Amino acid sequence: MSRIIDLTLAMSPGMRGVDFEANSTIDGKGWNTTMLHLYSHAGTHMDAPYHFIAQGETLENLMLQKCIGPARVLDLTFVKPRDLITVEHLAPYAKEIEPGSRLLLKTGWSTRADTPEYRSHLPRVSLPLAEWLAERKIALLGVEPPSVADVNNKEELTRVHQALLGAEIVIVEGLANLDALEQDVVTFIALPLKLEGGDGSPVRAIAIED
């Protein structure tokens, strides 16, 4: 039997970049519908290269085969707030990180999703690590913080994203519940909305364990 683990933050009004309003109700029209106002990088979401690269690929042209398949869960729960995640941190997994790899960095950070520290104190990917992953031609990188880099440092934010997205690495940010995973390798699925010209999109991310 397979086990499905939801790795997605629930969206609700009041979350950064999220607002809902009733469009119709059963009492009024006979059915419920809702108007959604969503920032393209709200909650658990995916970045397209166009997010940081002017001529980068947009969301509707993303290679979906990168978004589905085996993913290795790397335990980095020892990483502290504001720490840089380095090449040395991933060295124990180096033999398993090869072209086409999908990596999920487990830091436990999603437990802080409703706190001010979630965006201000996040552990993040160092530029040398981003470049190292690009050289290894991985397919996908998933992280629990809302960004792979410091959202309050424009230079870092830009350079780390460009290193990854320039290598056509799919980035999934804002993952949750990685601490519920029991296997080192899972089947990972995260599919974006097909937005023409899209720079990013919320996703429903799941892991399947055999």
- Catalytic amino acids? 51
Q: Which of 8, 78, 75, 84 has the alpha carbon at shortest distance from 42?
A: 8
With H, G, I as helix, E, B as strand and everything else as coil, classify residue 95.
Answer: helix
Which residues lie closer than 8 Å to 95 by C-beta, 6 or more apart? Answer: none
User: Do the bridges between strand 200-209 and strand 18-24 make them parallel or antiparallel, or are there none, so unpaired?
Assistant: unpaired
Q: Which of 133, 117, 114, 113 has the alpha carbon at shortest distance from 125?
A: 133
Burial of 30 (0-12, 13-18, 19+ CB in 10 A): exposed
Q: Which of 113, 146, 125, 144 has the alpha carbon at shortest distance from 39?
A: 146
Alpha helices in the chain (DSSP H): 87-90, 117-120, 127-135, 154-165
